[in-house]
Structure 1
Amino acid sequence: MNLFTGESADEFFGGDVPATVRQILHRAAQAPRTEVGSLLWTAQLVAPDGLPVYYALYKHHASQREWTWAERAARRGLVEAARQAGLPADEWQVQPGHPAATFRDNGPARFWLFTLKALAFLALRQQRLSEARELLAHIQRLDPEARIGDDVIASLLRSMGPDL
């Protein structure tokens, strides 16, 4: 639902999904917490190219503090978003000025960058602070205007102490 207009919305972060997957995602949204993960992984099997499924997976597992599963979903989503955007599979090979690194507009490249931010957050939550800092520095090189909210992670890292 759109909180501003009150209208029902059927959009997912990361793009569109096939009708079958849309139904699974809606079922997952209504399901008891114990069933959500299996429904979302089923959706991933049905549509391995569906970026919204990876977002739902890593958000769900992170909310359950299932860091390993959240990271697994985010890594798979990162690889798929890179493939769709034409970015290198290795996130460290993506550099400012790469022709496919157009993070301003919605699409696979922006989803890729957002998922990289999710990986920095997951590293932070697992106390892998140097990894979180490295990922954050990479994100800031790629998106110096901080349009994806990486400033929140930077603030959390600062609150945890000086740079390692």
Structure 2
Amino acid sequence: MRDLFYAGPLSPEIGALLEQAMGAYADTAKAEQLLRQAWDEAPEALPVYFSLYKFYFYKGRLEEAEAAARAALASAARQGGFPEDYERLTPDTTDWGRYDSPQHFYLFSLKALAFIRLRQGDLAGCRKILAKLNELDRADTVGGSVIGAMAAGL
């Protein structure tokens, strides 16, 4: 097992599926099939969620990217033992500063969700998510300020 994307352990088999999916990126159907296989075999592996929402985002399939990001948030919250609804979270909900934790992956996925909402044209939704991200990640460890700068330019 190895850690990937500070999101927890990943078995060599699942890591291999993700690498195969990256290698097959140009063949959308094949890459998606490999990602879905990884998710079927390891439904709580956070790096699989990361790979899914990035894949869908870069393929321009924003609704599916959003669904994958929201599923990532739900899984990270379950694993971290805190509510999945970001609106209910506070800086005191959990230790948001642990880089090797589901909490940090949650923050990273929240940033991804903000970017997806921005690309969908939902500036208000993006800003709402970023406001919460800024509250939870005051040190900007996941780079939410980058998305904030993009949103401010619109």
Q: With structure 2 as the length reference, what TM-score do the two structures score? A: 0.91
Percent identity between matched residues is 37
Higher relative contact order (CA 8 A, sep 6+): 2
Question: Which portions of structure 1, spanning 4 or more consecutive aligned residues, are displaced by more than 6 angstroms?
Answer: none
Provide structure 2 residue ranges, at least 5 long, that are not aligned to the other structure.
Answer: none
Provide structure 1 residue ranges, at least 5 long, that are not aligned to the other structure.
Answer: 1-9
Letter in 2 for 1:30: G
Task: Describe the SS at the equivalent of 1:45.
Answer: helix
Aligned to 1:122: 116
Q: With structure 1 as the length reference, what TM-score do the two structures score? A: 0.86
Distance in 1 between residues matched to 2:55 and 2:19, nearest whole Å:
14
Distance in 2 between residues matched to 1:84 and 1:61, nearest whole Å:
24
Larger gyration radius, structure 1 or structure 2 = 1
Do residues 45 (structure 1) and 40 (structure 2) align? yes
Do residues 12 (structure 1) and 7 (structure 2) align? no
Q: Deviations over 1:105-152 (max 9, x none)?
A: 221100001100100000000000100000000000111121110111
Distance in 2 between residues matched to 1:26 and 1:11, nearest whole Å:
14
Give the length in aligned residue pairs: 150
Aligned to 1:5: none
Do residues 21 (structure 1) and 21 (structure 2) align? no
Task: Describe the SS at the equivalent of 1:89.
Answer: coil
Q: Deviations over 1:20-46 (max 9, x none)?
A: 312211221222432111211111111
User: Superposition RMSD on alpha carbons, in Å?
Assistant: 1.4
Distance in 1 between residues matched to 2:11 and 2:3, nearest whole Å:
12
8 A Cα contact 1:103 1:113, kept in partner: no
1:11 shift after superposition: 5.2
Task: Describe the SS at the equivalent of 1:141.
Answer: helix
Aligned to 2:126: 132
Letter in 1 for 2:117: A
